[in-house]
Amino acid sequence: MSRIVVITGCSAGLGIAIAVQAARGGNTVYATMRDPGKADALQQAAAAAQVSLHILPMDVADTASVNACVDEILVREGRIDVLINNAGSGFVRSTEQASEEDIAWIMNVNFMGVVRTTKAVIASMRRARAGHIINITSVGGLVGQPFNEVYCASKFAVEGYTESLAAYVQPSFGIRFTAVEPGGIRSEFANAALAHVAATGGMLEDEYLPIIQKYLGGARARGDTAYQTCDQVAEVVIRCMESDNPPVRTRTSDWAEDFCRLKTDADPDGLKLQKQVVEMFLGG
């Protein structure tokens, strides 16, 4: 079945991989990004895969930009079947070292960006009694990690947001919700996070320095086992999109599964908890 698919954050990495794979599956793909002037990598990937897609501007940190993009797609297509919230940013900095501006920025992009796009599409999906919203979160949305507390907080927020919507919007209106939880991804995501640290004062010479050096050394050592390619993660996203009974949450690799096992073993896909919450709060 061909779907109208909207994807955020398509200027690099995972967004490109999802957009190309979705288009390869015969879907009508709207690949969005804050700055369409940075679409070269996406266009090259689409040409190499011999697929066509639409590129539109959408800044998830700007409500007017989100609404304008979604409205344009609805005018063109009459519906949106799938929203994939991929746009986001990493952040590596201790709470003591992080400014309030940095914290507000990461929460605005990673969490409020998901809320804005969801709010923009959900009314049309509700009227259609169909749709699927897939939020790219992280194992950091399930397990807190050193120096990632602000980033993890933003992803924990998306996890709670996704679970809550799945508890009442899905059974009432047929809109499905899934949180996709990768471990590490071999892309520019981590480099961009470290570049932001460098641009905001670098690694400070304080008591945290030897701890973060140990953390970064461990991250490099885990690279061969923990990190996936963008295409591997995108394959999981596409499987969720095409599933008749998609999970509420899913990890994307064996490493991610093992890392989160203490929190997910009893209910790996989140469907049992979803059923329990619906029954407890809405009477089944």
CB 186, CB 227: distance < 8 Å: yes
Active site (catalytic) residues: 151
| 73 vs 22: CA distance, rounded Å | 17
Q: How far apart are CA 120 and CA 133, in angstroms?
A: 12
- Name the one residue in this structure whose structure tokens are 């200027």: 11
**How far from 50 is each of 74, 90, 165, 245, CA to CA, in Å?**
26, 31, 36, 30
Residue 154: burial class (beta carbons within 10 Å; 0-12, 13-18, 19+): buried
* Neighbour-count burial of 232, counting CB atoms closer than 10 A to its CB (0-12 exposed, 13-18 middle, 19+ buried): middle
With left for phi above 0 and alpha for psi between -120 and 50, is residue 13 left, alpha or beta? left
